[in-house]
Amino acid sequence: MNGDFKDLIDIEVIKKEHLTQIIVIVVTSLIIIALSAILGISTAMVQSRILLSKAESENEQEVPNEENQQVEEVIKETPKIPVYSEDAKNRMNNIYVADNEEKIAYLTFDDGPSSKITPQILQILKDNDIKASFFVLGSRVELLPDLVKQEYEEGHYIANHGYSHEYTKVYASANAVLDEYNVTEKAIRNAIGNEEYSSHIFRFPGGSEKGKYATVKNEAKNLLNENNISYINWNSLTNDAVGTPTAESLVEDLKKTSEGKNRLVILMHDSGTKQLTADTLPQVIAYLKEQGYCFKNFYDIMY
């Protein structure tokens, strides 16, 4: 009996041991399952993240090359803010003085923008990789702000030619000149979407010298100077705004007025009636290149 009883106890012990083992196995298995589940989820998350970032980078790669190039171009030609320093002022005052053999031509276009002519001029400048300077009229800037923005974004210098171009208004007084300048600066800032922009360069309608309004012009020069504004005329021109020019006469007048000068500030116009200016511009550029001129704009002076 004793033996039987002992056996029974043994069986009980074995059973208990079994139970304990089973519990341990079950608990261990549960822990393993739980751990694997956690690991599985995190692995899946990591994997999905990798897939997601892959997909994103693939998406980025899918952007056409052409668009990428355009982005690079825009970055490369980030518009600038003119910096008006004493040095810049001196360089501006001495723009016609050639202290070396370098031949430099500054192409300048007055009275724009114009919906018809400005886009043609911009295309020709782009084709020739030339940066020019535009003396815009505030009244025109308000009408065609997008063209001014395009000029600016393509690296051309936006300078100030006053607001109205009506001599009786502009030259009513020295303060009227400054007012026209300030209103136009505001129009330029709005058009290009840059509140920091200040051109610091004015061109008097009809030029800064002599004539009926000489006294007011002289007073205005002082007032502009006090307000950190330079003014500039030109020393070469195609006479595209005088009489009834032809393609031949434009190039001929450029040759005559540029002869013997290593520094050229060339006056042209991009108002609506100046189709001839756009048509002849490639010839004008070709002639200047042939004569050994390189092309700069006022950023090269004001920056």
Q: With 0-12 CB in 10 A as exposed, 13-18 as middle and 19+ as buried, what is 263?
A: buried
Beta strand pairing status for 104-110 and 294-296? parallel
- Residue 110 a catalytic site member: yes
Instruction: Provide the binding-site residues for Zn ion, judged by CB under 5 A.
Output: 110-111, 205
Name 237's bridge partners.
267
Nearer to Zn ion, 82 or 205 (CB): 205
Residue nearest to Zn ion (CB): 110
| Rg, C-alpha atoms of the chain | 37
Q: With 0-12 CB in 10 A as exposed, 13-18 as middle and 19+ as buried, what is 118?
A: buried
Query: Vertex 19, ends 18 and 24: CA angle to 5°?
Result: 95
Catalytic residue among 156, 161, 165, 269: 269
Nearest to 130 by CA among 1, 284, 248: 284
Nearer to Zn ion, 156 or 240 (CB): 240
Provide, rounded to whole angstroms, the least separation between the CB of residue 233 and Zn ion: 11
Nearer to Zn ion, 113 or 205 (CB): 205
String of DSSP letters for 92-105: HHTTT--SSS--EE
Provide, rounded to whole angstroms, the least separation between the CB of residue 241 and Zn ion: 8
Catalytic residue among 110, 111, 240, 270: 110
Provide, rounded to whole angstroms, the least separation between the CB of residue 127 and Zn ion: 26
Nearer to Zn ion, 111 or 270 (CB): 111
Provide, rounded to whole angstroms, the least separation between the CB of residue 196 and Zn ion: 26
- Token reading at 138: 């505030």
Task: Please list the active-site residues.
Answer: 110, 269
